[in-house]
Amino acid sequence: MDTPTPVDSLDASFDIVARQDASDAAIESLRGDVEEVKSRLDKVSRAAARPVLDGAAPTPSIEVKSFVDGYLRLGRENEVKSISGAVLADGGYAVPREIDERISAQLKKMSPIRAIAQVVQVGTAGYRKLITTSGVASGWVSETGTRPETQTPKFAEIAPPRGDLYANPAASQAMLDDAAFKLDDWLASEIAAEFARAEGAAYVNGTGTNQPKGFLAAPTALTGDATRTFGTLQHIVSGNATGFDTAPELKLIDLVHSLRPGHRQGAVFVMNSATLSIVRKLKAADGSFLWQPGIMEGQPARLLGYPVVEAEDMPDVAANALPIAFGNFRNGYLITERNATSILRDPYTNKPFVHFYATKRVGGQVLDSDAIKLLKIST
């Protein structure tokens, strides 16, 4: 005889099964949530690892945001001190590193000599460098022979003249009050443009008094590297008192090969646009142009196989002028700069405009006089 199953036992069994199903469903749902979180974290990680594309605006740091919104827009100096740790020195606050790097990057693009010269960051009031003016004597000996004493090398000290480079861009208060106005980008661009104009003139023709000494301010002579005084640049004459002679391509070839082979690796021509328009028309004996345009976009044009840099502060072709320079400027010209730009906010001098007085200490001088050669318009 079958024994009837109690109703309570069946209900309890169904209840256990239902709870098990609910538990399994909850676990599956939780697994889905975990997988979604992992996927999002993976995307964030890949985005963080991905390099920022050129031109893309990275998220500004707290230091930059406080400097721009607190000090530049509103003039709150206490925020600058508490956030960036900057102190008032030399008449202004040091800009955050991100903005200073932006200024330096634009300067390199806009200042022709800076782009090809050697740039050294300094933090002291003066910078000095020793240069060997004569090599150490050497020779050959046998395996067991005595080693004669070598001659002591001679040194010259380089101390580039320095000065405070300044820019003073102005913005209206309405521009500063506009939240959409990219103040940091505008300021970096304005400062770089002003610095580039002043630098371009100083690195070429600077007197060395409260400013860098330009390479054209150095003395020049016809003598070669072995006999010329250290610090004096060599020049090649054009053969004509007011311009080029009947075979200018030969003078340019002489100019190239007056430079030592070691310096010719990385050498460039430097001239202004007016001189460049004359040089572009020059032809060799077979009728081919000496000028060769860049094969690919972004590649520099070449003259006799070497890149050409346009520097508008170079002189025009005229009697006794030095319109063309050729050399390895990374070995031949030294630029020193303090590694921080200072900015002083001035809302009082020219109301209702707010001026941003930016300063940077910069110096420059010929480093190796054998590494730069000049073409002089002379007989």
Which domains are delineated in the chain? 62-132+154-211+343-364 (3.30.2400), 217-335+368-376 (3.30.2320)
Q: Helix, strand or coil for residue 191?
A: helix
Reported as a single tens digit per residue, the pLDDT across 253-263 is 999 999 999 89
Question: Which pLDDT belongs to residue 301?
Answer: 80
Does residue 115 or residue 78 have the better pLDDT? 115
Question: Which pLDDT belongs to residue 18?
Answer: 63
Res 54 pLDDT > 60? no
Q: Which of 153-162, 223-232, 327-336 has the highest mean pLDDT?
A: 327-336
Res 345 pLDDT > 70? yes
Does residue 326 or residue 130 have the better pLDDT? 326
Question: Which pLDDT belongs to residue 276?
Answer: 92
Q: Residue 9's pLDDT band (boundaries 50, 70, 90)? A: low
The answer to whether 252 and 290 have CB atoms below 8 angstroms apart is yes
Question: Which pLDDT belongs to residue 109?
Answer: 83
Q: Residue 212's pLDDT band (boundaries 50, 70, 90)? A: very high
Say how far apart CA 373 and CA 379 lie, in whole Å.
17
* pTM > 0.85: no
Question: Which pLDDT belongs to residue 315?
Answer: 94
Question: Which pLDDT belongs to residue 139?
Answer: 75
The answer to whether 330 and 265 have CB atoms below 8 angstroms apart is no
Residue type at 203 in one-letter notation: Y
Q: Residue 203's pLDDT band (boundaries 50, 70, 90)? A: very high
Q: Residue 229's pLDDT band (boundaries 50, 70, 90)? A: confident
Question: Which pLDDT belongs to residue 51?
Answer: 52
Strand stretches in 83-146, DSSP E: 93-94, 118-122, 129-132
